[in-house]
Amino acid sequence: MNASFRQSMGWLHTWAGVVIGSLLFAIFWMGTLSVFDREIDRWMNPGSRLSPAVASQPIQLDGPITETAMRLTQGSAQWLMRLPSERVPALELRWRDEKTKTTERRYLHPTTGAVLPHTDTLAGTGFIFPFHYGLHLKWKDIGYWLVGLAGMAMLVMVVSGVVIHRKIFADFFLFRPKKHAPRASLDLHNLTGVLGLPFHFVMALSGLIIFMGIYWPSSYSAAYPDAKGVSAAQQAFNKDGYGQYKRARTNIAGESSAPLASLDDMRAQARAQWQGAEANFIRVWHPGDQASYVELRRTYADSVTMNLDQLYLDANSGRPLHSFSAQPVMTAQRFISGLHFIQFQHWLLRWLYFLAGLSGCIMIATGFVFWLESRRASHAKKGLHGVRVVEALAVASVPGIMVATCLFFIANRLLPLDASWGGYARSGLEMGVFYVGWLAMLVHAAWRARHAWREQSALLAVLSATAVALNWASTGHHLIHTLGQGLWAVAGMDLLLLASAAIAAWTARHLARKAGTASSRAASTPRVGHA
């Protein structure tokens, strides 16, 4: 491999990272948190903090649970339930409010059917996870496109990184933290890059495959050439690929003596069809209508593949209407989706995903630091402002987004349950706190430049510890309580926040010492023309 080619790859690697690094860090950060999105839900919605032992009890849907669901969702065109699991012991009920045109969510006790205390929050599954793949930018799917661009850039950087590092395996064992900032940051960049290389490549590639229909909409027309337009081709693909079944409502009320057949019997039918596998998702379409029907989806907690097995039954009689299992091509796609989203139950692998995601965050952050420190002096001599611009973006996208995330958690614990302002409900205010805080960190980074790394790290330490204290003050759930009651999700969240506080405090102190040493050296260096 000649030197010019390697030099070109080095240029591509560097500038792909500088240009897209801020976006890529945000995606990696939110993706890392999404590994525990349902655990974050339980921390941010204290009413759902049931003991894991509750989820192990047999659940009976007929009776109080179904009665509560029908009462809460009265007037809705559909409602659905997610059955309890090891990660979420409470039963989740969702429906669309036809008056407000919003999706409502409540948690029910899986034994008594009682409605658990509710906190209006998007939390992990509603805010953090969608941010990871769509940035909450819905106009013309621009969020998906930006994430796709970042995914392509990640693949480019992985491949070019392998090319430019001739001693890639030697770099894995080379870490000199006491060296100057450029050298130490490059060593850590190489270390995390090599260590997480397979993970980073698979995550970037699988993310592109999962949303291939958005990035390559012409693929629908290629698969269905006889369809009239892309929209018709997409509908045909969804029907064949995802098994979408629809039955129109008749607007004729069903038999009053049997408004809804036994959901437990329907679960038994599904279990028999799926060789003992359980349904974890039940949706009732057109409730109360003569054409009402029930959709059951098979759980994928026990397999990597996010299977598409479905069973549809008449809601009034329990008679089977339609069943679906994915074909091999879609099964392969859903296996790739399962690798990316890790929805199966495997705690060791889940923690490894989390650590691998953090290694990606460290890799991006140290790439920024190396670029900044290696060019700071030369840019200053030439009067260039590139370092200031990149540094502001880097600080806002590394400690800045972490600070904004902590503010999101703090707002969840501080806002009153009935909070609303300016037409925004409580969940919208939590999101607003995140974005305003993030913007404030960008302004601070542009103003304070090099000092912003230290100051935002110190702020992150304070906010992380504050979030833990507020959780204790607002719920009474301190670490001794949560560990003693087996509330591992809540305890784990608090412990990770405390670990973040400790690491951020150490980082701030280290940067302060480094700045003090640099100032002392500058003061002790004699100036030209002075004795």
Q: Residue 349: pLDDT band by 50, 70, 90 thresholds?
A: very high
Cα distances from 355 to residues 115, 177, 200, 359, in angstroms, run: 36, 20, 12, 6
User: Is residue 249 helix, strand or coil?
Assistant: coil
**Rg over CA atoms, the chain:** 26
pLDDT tens-place string over residues 264-315: 999 999 999 999 999 999 999 999 899 999 999 999 998 999 999 999 999 9
Specify the pLDDT at position 518.
60
Specify the pLDDT at position 529.
46
| CA atoms in the 13 A half-sphere facing the CB of 238 | 11
Q: Is the pLDDT of residue 27 over 50?
A: yes
Q: Is the pLDDT of residue 527 over 60?
A: no
User: Is residue 421 helix, strand or coil?
Assistant: strand
Q: Are 431 and 126 in contact (CB under 8 A)?
A: no
What is the rounded average pLDDT of the residues 173-190?
65
Q: How far apart are CA 442 and CA 366, in angstroms?
A: 19
Which of 306, 413, 330, 357 shows the shortest CA–CA distance to 37? 357
Could you give the percent of the chain with pLDDT greater than 90?
61
Specify the pLDDT at position 216.
85
What are the backbone dihedrals phi and psi of residue 45, each rounded to the nearest 5 degrees, phi first? -125, 80
Q: Are 253 and 290 in contact (CB under 8 A)?
A: yes
Q: Are 276 and 72 in contact (CB under 8 A)?
A: no
pLDDT tens-place string over residues 432-447: 999 999 999 999 999 9
What is the rounded average pLDDT of the residues 33-45?
96
pLDDT tens-place string over residues 76-103: 999 999 999 989 999 999 998 888 778 8
What is the rounded average pLDDT of the residues 148-155?
93
What is the rounded average pLDDT of the residues 181-187?
68
Which of 161, 160, 223 shows the shortest CA–CA distance to 190? 161
In terms of DSSP H, where are the helices of 51-119?
52-55, 64-72
Q: Are 287 and 95 in contact (CB under 8 A)?
A: no
The total number of residues shown for the chain amounts to 531
Q: Is the pLDDT of residue 6 over 70?
A: yes
Terminal CA-CA length for the chain: 54
Instruction: Flag the least confident range among 47-56, 325-334, 479-488, 519-528.
Output: 519-528
Q: Which two tokens stand for residue 353?
A: 């995903």
Q: Residue 450: pLDDT band by 50, 70, 90 thresholds?
A: confident
Q: How far apart are CA 477 and CA 209, in angstroms?
A: 41
Instruction: Flag the least confident range among 75-79, 138-142, 229-233, 374-378.
Output: 374-378
Q: Are 316 and 290 in contact (CB under 8 A)?
A: yes
Specify the pLDDT at position 257.
41
